[in-house]
Amino acid sequence: MNKAFFVDKDGTLVDNSGYPEIIPSDGLLENDVVEGLKYLQKKEYKIILISNQPWIAKGRMSIEEVEQVFQSLILKLSSFGVKIEDYYYCPHQTSDNCNCKKPKPQLIKDAANKHNINLNNSFMIGDMEDDILTGKNAGIKTILVLTGNGRKYKENNNADYTIKNINEVINII
């Protein structure tokens, strides 16, 4: 079986400093993520993006626009030698009460089934409480990064690990 790092997109991989007025796009936090992601690949983790994209349900972005953002981000990361194995996102808003919106673990379970992933050897990393809860709900280890909104949760979180950014994953794995 494989092992994976399930990675949140907005605030973890890309800049979301203008949120919620400005929808996070593909502005890669290059200096905070590239070396850590490359290290994870060397350790044979599959990197899979897990994200809430409520902009679709709210009519602020189309599915096609969200897909373009993910594809652009994947292309940027590949230019640094980082392979994104797959990505999953929830297009709903909270009031839709769907099964796929973080902190529900459905997206992780779907990815684990598709990619033959052993969740006991996997992690969820993100910058918000919902990312940590998603990992906990899926039964995997969790990492809070202090990029994006992570600084808000620094003192009051129940993540297994808290690090400055993805590059610091080298100190954990």
Give pLDDT tens digits along the chain (173 positions): 999 999 999 999 999 887 767 777 888 999 999 999 999 999 999 999 999 999 999 999 999 999 999 999 999 999 999 999 999 999 999 999 999 999 999 999 999 999 999 999 999 999 999 999 999 999 999 999 999 888 888 777 899 999 999 999 999 99
Q: What pLDDT is attached to residue 157?
A: 84
Residue 81 has a pLDDT of 98
The SS3 assignment for 69 reads: helix
Parse the chain into domains and list their residue ranges. 3-171
Query: In Å, what is the CA distance from 47 to each residue of 54, 64, 92?
Result: 22, 22, 23
Catalytic residues: 8, 10
From the options 3.40.50.1000, 3.40.190.10, 2.60.120.560, 3.40.50.11740, give the CATH code of 3-171: 3.40.50.1000
Tokens of 43: 């350790």
What pLDDT score does 69 carry?
A: 95
